Amino acid sequence: MQLKQIVSAIFGMIFRLLVTIIMIMLVYRLAVAAYGFGYDVFLDAPMSASPGLSKTVTIAEGTGKWDMAKLLEEKGVVKSAGVFYVQLMLSDYKDDWKPGIYELNTSMHAEEIILLLAGVSEEEEQNGDS
Tell me: pLDDT of 127 over 80.
Answer: no
pLDDT band of residue 6 (cuts 50, 70, 90) is very high
- Residues 6+ positions from 48 with CB-CB distance below 8 Å: 106, 107
Q: Give me the phi and psi of 70, to 5 degrees please.
A: -65, -40
Q: pLDDT tens digits for 53-87?
A: 999 999 999 999 999 999 999 999 999 999 999 99
State the burial class of residue 109 (Cβ atoms within 10 Å of its Cβ: 0-12, 13-18, 19+).
middle
Q: How far apart are CA 8 and CA 59, in angstroms?
A: 64
Q: Is the pTM of this model over 0.85?
A: no
- DSSP annotation of 10 reads H
pLDDT at 129: 56
Q: Which amino acid is at 47?
A: M
User: In which element (H, E) is residue 58 found?
Assistant: strand 54-59
Mean pLDDT score across all residues of the chain: 93
Q: Shortest CA distance to 57 belongs to which of 84, 36, 34?
A: 84
pLDDT of amino acid 50 = 84
Judge contact between 115 and 93, C-beta under 8 A. yes
Q: What is the DSSP letter of 91?
A: S
Q: What is the pLDDT of residue 55?
A: 96
Whole-number pLDDT of residue 126: 72
What pLDDT, in 10s, does the model give residues 86-107?
A: 999 999 999 998 999 999 999 9
Rounded CA separation 43/110 (Å): 10
